[in-house]
Amino acid sequence: MKRNRLRRAALLGLSTAFLVTACGTVTEIAVTTTWEAILTSPGIGGPNGTVAVVSQNDRVVANISLGGALPGQEYAWRLGNGSCDSPGDILGGRALYPALAISDTGEASAAAVIAGSLDPDGTYYAAVQDSPEDGAVVLACGLLERQ
């Protein structure tokens, strides 16, 4: 029990690491966590893709790459707390995620920058929807896994 508490304390300490220089100034060390998700469609032949996320200090950068989508369409995407089966709040809000404009070959990519950081012990998902509205159909989803 005590060993687990020590491990948690060490991990928390690493996530907010600081360096004191010889002059006595405190400099924050960049703490980076990376996450990846493989997006799969609940149906046969739907869109698929990947999402790569880097969380560093107070900034999260997410990149999505999608294939197998219907050419000429425009899809919405997001990161959220929870899982595909039990989705929670959108990270940062809808306005931060640019639309996925599907090319003639059924591909699209986009990036989003979100203020804040991801809890290394948190559960997150990435989803692609047919529109940005509440109740939109989820076309593809994947659980973000810490790398």
CB-based contact 58:116 (threshold 8 Å): yes
Least confident of 24-38, 45-59, 130-144: 24-38
The answer as to whether 40 is a domain residue is yes
Instruction: Work out the pLDDT band at 132, boundaries 50, 70, 90.
Output: confident
**Structural domain contains residue 17:** no
Q: Which residues contact 145 (CB under 8 A, 6 or more apart)?
A: 35, 36, 37
Structural contact between residues 28 and 57, judged by C-beta atoms closer than 8 angstroms: yes
Euclidean distance between CA atoms 28 and 26, whole angstroms: 7
Average pLDDT over residues 3-25: 40
In a domain, 83, yes or no: yes
Task: Answer yes or no: are the C-beta atoms of 25 and 108 closer than 8 Å.
Answer: no
Residue 19 within any structural domain of the chain: no
- Residue 131 belongs to domain spanning: 31-146
Q: Would you say 82 and 123 are in contact if contact means Cβ atoms under 8 Å apart?
A: yes
Residue 18, in any domain of the structure? no
Q: Is residue 54 part of a domain?
A: yes
Q: How far apart are CA 8 and CA 66, in angstroms?
A: 36
Q: Give the residue-averaged pLDDT of 86-92.
A: 96
Which CATH number does the domain housing residue 139 bear?
2.60.40.200
User: What mean pLDDT value characterizes the chain?
Assistant: 85
How many separate domains does the chain show? Answer: 1
What is the average per-residue pLDDT within 109-126? 96
- Using the predicted structure, report yes or no on whether residue 11 has a pLDDT greater than 60: no
In a domain, 74, yes or no: yes
The pLDDT value given to residue 24: 57
Q: What is the pLDDT of residue 12?
A: 36
Write down the pTM of the prediction: 0.79
The stretch 22-30 carries a mean pLDDT of 60
Is 27 or 78 the better-scoring residue by pLDDT? Answer: 78
- CB neighbours of residue 98 within 10 Å: 12
Residues 6+ apart with CB under 8 A from 13: none
Distance CA 18, CA 14 (A): 9
26 assigned to some structural domain: no
